[in-house]
Amino acid sequence: MKTGKLMLALLGGALLVAHAAAAPINTDTALPVSQGEFLWREQVRFLKAQDSTRDLEVIAVPSVLVYGVTEKFALIGMVPYMDMTLKMAGIERGAAGRGDSMLLGRYQVFQLDRPGETFRAQALGGLKFPTGRDDQGDAFGRLPQPMQLGSGSYDPVVGGIFTWQRLRWQADFDLSYKINTKANGFRFGDTLAHDAAFQYRLSPLTLPEQGVPSFIYGVLELNGRWAERSELHGGKVGDSGGYTLFVSSGLQYVTQRWVAEISVQLPLIQDLNGNQVKTDYVLSAGFRVQF
């Protein structure tokens, strides 16, 4: 089985776990986590991709814990559970278990607060750790690297996040770049993620004079992922890398203590190198709670 033909698993994996600390559903936010506060987020994400000969399913459950070290600096830890299955020519291959973890720091570099309105910018940096197994195999031998739960590599991430929030709506933008390093003779191509989200308060239509009502937001997002070609023993993998832009719509129920959300992502653009199976959709549901 050609390694490159499985590259979507990588793209899918990145899509499934890259933005687990978001305030919109698939986009990061620059909103604060109060000093000394914890935020716990769980999501279930399901990716389906298929063509005439291949059928790929990825389930990811990223668990995220965010801690407000100060009002400006937050630490974000993320550990995903992954389950990947690829069916091709009557053969089924896959892996399930803990994936690679990520530790990120988020620092607020700009804050402008007005009554009922805030504009913030944050810098993001961190490292992906190889906590997922990268040596799994089955009856057909060792699984190709893109089908492994972990990459085996330590990969730095840098980025920036911008948020403009008002009582009626919120807009978020993020941009992040992951520099992938080599492990097991394989180097995944670097990845660039860019997201834009707009969420609008659907309920309540008008706010009461007193109190804090729960909100229902409608969420519309654009989530772009670019990946350069991967390298195997120094040579470029033809069937790897490319660009995908998803449009996402979702709903969020937001209370003071917790948030529940659902989202569906559909591909608008899939410009993938070589012969890669294309994504049909990504579904997600989750909650977050602060304490």
Closest CA to 51 of 95, 2, 5, 119: 5
Piece of the chain touching other proteins by CB under 8 A; list 78-86, 201-209, 269-277, 278-286:
201-209
- Of the residues 16, 33, 49, 124, which one makes contact with other proteins according to CB under 8 A: 33
Residue 13, SS3 per DSSP: helix
Q: Residue 171's CB: how many other CB atoms inside 10 A? A: 17
34 binds other proteins, rule: CB under 8 A = yes
Site string for other proteins, 103-122 (x = CB under 8 A): --------x-xxxxxx----
Report how far residue 114's alpha carbon sits from residue 96's, in angstroms, rounded to the nearest whole number. 47
- Least distance (Å) between residue 248 CB and other proteins: 19
Which pair of tokens denotes residue 121? 């910018």
| Residue corresponding to tokens 């801690």 | 67
203 binds other proteins, rule: CB under 8 A = no
Closest CA to 211 of 256, 159, 245, 262: 256
Q: How many residues of this chain bind other proteins (CB under 8 A)?
A: 38
| Residue corresponding to tokens 């199976």 | 277
Cβ proximity to other proteins, 120 vs 187, nearer residue: 120
Cβ proximity to other proteins, 88 vs 171, nearer residue: 171
27 binds other proteins, rule: CB under 8 A = no
Categorise residue 241: left if φ over 0, alpha if ψ from -120 to 50, beta otherwise. Answer: left
205 binds other proteins, rule: CB under 8 A = no
Closest CA to 99 of 133, 49, 74: 133
Farthest CA pair distance, the chain: 66
Residues 228/206, Cβ–Cβ less than 8 Å: no
- Least distance (Å) between residue 199 CB and other proteins: 9
Cβ proximity to other proteins, 43 vs 165, nearer residue: 165
| Angle at alpha carbon of residue 262, lines to 279 and 264, rounded to 5° | 25
Piece of the chain touching other proteins by CB under 8 A; list 5-13, 43-51, 52-60, 212-220:
212-220
Cβ proximity to other proteins, 1 vs 123, nearer residue: 123
Cβ proximity to other proteins, 213 vs 274, nearer residue: 213
- Of the residues 109, 135, 156, 214, which one makes contact with other proteins according to CB under 8 A: 214
Site string for other proteins, 41-70 (x = CB under 8 A): ---------------------------x-x
Residues 249/234, Cβ–Cβ less than 8 Å: no
Piece of the chain touching other proteins by CB under 8 A; list 50-58, 146-154, 210-218, 232-240:
210-218
- DSSP 8-state secondary structure symbol assigned to residue 3: G
166 binds other proteins, rule: CB under 8 A = yes
Cβ proximity to other proteins, 23 vs 197, nearer residue: 23
Listed in sequence order, the residues at least 6 apart from 274 whose beta carbon sits closer than 8 Å to its beta carbon are 4, 238, 239, 240
Binding site for other proteins (CB under 8 A): 23, 31-37, 68, 70-72, 111, 113-118, 165-167, 170, 207-215, 254-257, 259, 290
